[in-house]
Amino acid sequence: MNMFVLLANRRDIKNSHVSKLYKVLAEGSNFESPLVANLYSRKRVYALLDGNHRYEAMKKYFDKFPERKVEIYLIFYTDLSPEEEKEEYTKWNSGKRQSTNDFIQAYWDTIPIAKWFNAPLRGFACRVAPSWRTGGIPAIEFKTLVGAYLTKDDQTFSGGFSGSAMELVEKSQHLGDRDFGVIKSFMADYVTAYGRIDPKNMHYKQVVFYTLFRLWLKNYQAHDFATMRKMFEVIRGHRLVVEYQKLGGTRENCNAFHALLLADLKTRRQFADFV
């Protein structure tokens, strides 16, 4: 096992999947699919591109049965560049059931705005990570935050970003300082209004978060920030939030919630011209 090194941006490991693979080994079987790696010839080690769950299952297996052996197939490249590693990672994983968060994790270092979110001098209101984090320093999921922002120019509201994982990565790579500033302004007031990052908090449920971000994006340029902060106050714990936070962030749910919430806001004088 010492022949392998792990990429820093490898996909999130799911313990349930590792346990299933461990059971395969414990029952005396081997893995049929190959591990894929990049051989660093100078160091004589292999950087694992595909097969992280199998690797973790083998570690677990050898911890319990150190005298046993596992037969594996290995496909390897030699001295790929970091960019070539990412390309091969994508090729080997694109046909498998891999989450958007896994791709964000893999391409994290190529997305400038991802680094800016967590740079102390940038003063962003919270941590941002490839997936939700609630232990230690809480962090909002990149896909939820940036995916919601990327819908700003859509003519019809349909919730979060609807493209593929690679399209989300590619569009995110082109976001600049102005985009960062807009998202920063929104999150500063959002965290103040609704508290720490927690996917269990009703205001961070996707259907609610997507809709409130959309309302803010469509109206903040025509109103002062005091009005936009007031909108968050009015919506906090709103009966529609309580109702819709139980539903998923689908196109239908987001559209229905958006229409009802906007209609309710427009009955109040200061939000009468909201769109």
At 114-170, the pLDDT tens digits run 999 999 999 999 999 998 987 778 999 999 999 999 988 877 766 788 778 888 999
Domain-terminating residue out of 50, 68, 97: 97
Q: How far apart are CA 55 and CA 1, in angstroms?
A: 8
- How many domains does the chain fold into? 2
Of 122, 138, 105, 152, nearest to 8 by C-alpha is 105
Domain end marker among 59, 81, 97:
97
Same domain, 64 and 162: no
Q: DSSP code of 34?
A: P
Query: Pick from 199, 207, 206: which is nearest to 256 by CA?
Result: 207
- Are 112 and 67 contained in the same domain? no
Both 45 and 107 in a single domain? no
Q: Which domain holds residue 23?
A: 4-97
Q: Are residues 113 and 239 in the same domain?
A: yes
* 179-231 pLDDT, tens digit each: 999 999 999 999 999 998 998 999 999 999 999 999 999 999 999 989 999 99
Let me know whether 164 and 90 are in one domain: no
Question: Is residue 226 located within the same domain as residue 110?
Answer: yes
Instruction: Go through the chain and tell me how many residues it has.
Output: 275
